[in-house]
Chain A
């Protein structure tokens, strides 16, 4: 009776957490592991949920979770970002660490790449330091074996004092046993025994544990002692008494004195020494021949052949992508124009039709017709690049040139993405370490002609002046980007951090996660971009209804006509370009009533118009992405800078052309 009351009492007052333990109905599992260890594949196999997987370090910053039912229990699986360590060097490490220490996960599944056992165990040891229940998932046993590495899972388990399950996640092998083991462990809720390091470190930790005297019961005392010793910055928020910190300082000085190394290096060495001992007693090496992929790598990273194959590969892909995009987009457009005819038969007041159909709905359709045919294939290609490991090789090859622009090799990734669409490019700058780098990379990728601007360049200059002129715009654009980058690097205070990046083994991407990742990205694009496109196209429709077109053209004419040398009609057209850059061309033909642009623009005007459209202002969706990533102030500054830059370049070029050619 009393017991029953107590349970009821706890149910009504305690958190979701506590009652889940009493009823044992819900279990939270956290997935932790190195980047590329196959964590995301394990997650997908267990839950079948949406998730990004990637091949360059530290990409899954956002937390992904999924739910499953298992023997009547609700299991919540949280996929932590891929990390190498539990220090607080990166955002991802901080996120992972805080989540693990919060006590929310009932059990941690530590996914380990068997072919990189020693490095993986470095993280495992740190996870064990937190004394939370843990299961090892020894993944990629097949890959390890192809490298000649035989892993003894039982010995690993014995040496680390936690259960270990051998799995091959890509084939779904061992996952059932992994889940059962994890759930059993979660229900037992036993704290694990932390790993023991060398005598000198252990003595220091013991002393600190004694001094701490259980003052912070929410954290394991030994773990706290390690962090205090390591000079971890996070520790400051606990306001630990001065005398303990002073004593820690003395101990640290003594250790640094004897080892002639900083404490970080001493402790890392301790962990690696242990990791290496464990790896050597649980894994055996038999020499194997180099695989085809390893031989391919010799070419792909070659100082000469590497660049040739990279340029060739990118060129072929871009041509293919534009062809696919053009076909897809014309298919969708004919589909929607049928719909258009259908709607025009419905009798509703003209004003509503204009606002709802021409404004809101066609904004939506614009978004879809650009997203599906151009961006989706691009994302598939990008996911392939990432998951095969080739993107890391591109970053390697381009590191030295990117340094001139204040970025390192990883900065090439958002810039390549920019050719598909600037929105994911700006969102993709997250992979860079500092705000300085993210700002430079965002600005440079905004200057990249996305697929929408490609429509204008090819549709106008390419068709009426010839492909060579279109190519000239692309080259000119790259030159401008280079100069802007060099200038930003010189005048933007701060330093370019050095490149430290894992170059994962080349592999053939697993199809399902690659498709999921592309879908996830398309969704992100639609969420960020679509509302702005729809809002903007409705507002322009309002301007049209109010009959402000001519007034706007008149106001803009000093810039448009005198400075840029373009016909007045292009003023309003350029405003529409804020929504989608290719609208400038579509609208130009609607307003002038012809698709033969040579009737309204001369060659100089075509060239200047296309160049200006390429540079003048990011579209609304890109501005939204900029705001999200860099904040209002930086976003506004970048937009103003881009407008100024485009006016300067296009105007000067126009006057030069007039002066030289006439």
Chain B
């Protein structure tokens, strides 16, 4: 099921399908490794706050608004 990264719970994994939003933000996220087909894992999630995502061994804090713009699918 395709849904925004922000809806995943702590410990859940997803595979990135699509980034939406401004060019600057997309460029930034893709530089950090948030690119289609990439598997990501939610490490922490503050209620209504930012979420911490692990990508390629690094943990990034993403504001909820940013995480809303990354769409993920289930990991097979």
Chain A residues packing against B (C-beta within 8 Å):
84-85, 87, 89, 115-116, 118-119, 122, 261-262, 264-265, 268-269, 272, 276, 301-303, 306, 392, 395-397, 399-400, 403, 408-409, 497-505
Contact B60 A502 (CB under 8 A): yes
Contact B35 A269 (CB under 8 A): yes
| Contacts A269-B30, A396-B50, A409-B50 given; does A261 touch B60 at CB 8 Å | no
| Contacts A119-B32, A500-B32 given; does A265 touch B46 at CB 8 Å | no
CB nearest to B55 among chain A residues: A119
Residues of B within 8 A of A399 (CB): 46, 49-50, 61, 63
Residues of B within 8 A of A264 (CB): 23, 26-27, 30
In addition to A87-B27, A272-B38, A400-B64, 20 A-B residue pairs with Cβ atoms within 8 Å of each other are A89-B24, A89-B28, A116-B56, A118-B57, A122-B31, A122-B33, A261-B36, A264-B23, A264-B26, A301-B44, A301-B52, A302-B44, A306-B46, A399-B46, A498-B62, A499-B63, A499-B66, A500-B61, A500-B63, A503-B59
Q: What number of B residues sit within 8 Å (CB to CB) of A?
A: 36
Residues of A within 8 A of B38 (CB): 272
Which of B24, B30, B31, B48 has the largest number of chain A CB atoms within 10 A? B31
CB nearest to A279 among chain B residues: B56
- B29 within 8 Å of A (CB atoms): yes
A503 to B51 alpha-carbon distance, docked (Å): 11
| Contacts A264-B30, A396-B46, A499-B50 given; does A403 touch B35 at CB 8 Å | no
Chain B residues packing against A (C-beta within 8 Å):
19, 23-33, 35-38, 43-50, 52, 56-66
Contact B29 A500 (CB under 8 A): yes
Residues of B within 8 A of A502 (CB): 32, 58-61
Where chain B touches its partner, the secondary structure class is mixed
Contact A396 B61 (CB under 8 A): yes
Contact B26 A408 (CB under 8 A): no
Which of A395, A400, A500 has the largest number of chain B CB atoms within 10 A? A500
Which of A116, A122, A265, A403 has the largest number of chain B CB atoms within 10 A? A265
Contact B62 A265 (CB under 8 A): no
Contact B36 A269 (CB under 8 A): yes
Closest CB in chain B relative to A85 CB, distance in Å: 4
Residues of A within 8 A of B36 (CB): 261, 265, 269
Closest CB in chain B relative to A135 CB, distance in Å: 23
Residues of A within 8 A of B65 (CB): 498
Residues of B within 8 A of A85 (CB): 31
Residues of B within 8 A of A89 (CB): 24, 27-28, 31
A144 to B31 alpha-carbon distance, docked (Å): 22
Which of A269, A303, A396, A502 has the largest number of chain B CB atoms within 10 A? A396
Contact A87 B62 (CB under 8 A): no
Contact B46 A303 (CB under 8 A): yes
A119 to B60 alpha-carbon distance, docked (Å): 12
Residues of A within 8 A of B66 (CB): 498-500
Interface residue from A116, A268, A303, A505 paired with B35 (Cβ < 8 Å) = A268
Interface residue from A87, A303, A408 paired with B47 (Cβ < 8 Å) = A303
A115 to B66 alpha-carbon distance, docked (Å): 26
CB nearest to B68 among chain A residues: A498
| Contacts A116-B57, A498-B25, A502-B60 given; does A268 touch B49 at CB 8 Å | no
| Contacts A261-B36, A399-B46, A503-B52 given; does A392 touch B61 at CB 8 Å | yes
A504 to B58 alpha-carbon distance, docked (Å): 7
CB nearest to A261 among chain B residues: B36
| Contacts A265-B30, A272-B33 given; does A395 touch B61 at CB 8 Å | yes
A26 to B33 alpha-carbon distance, docked (Å): 38
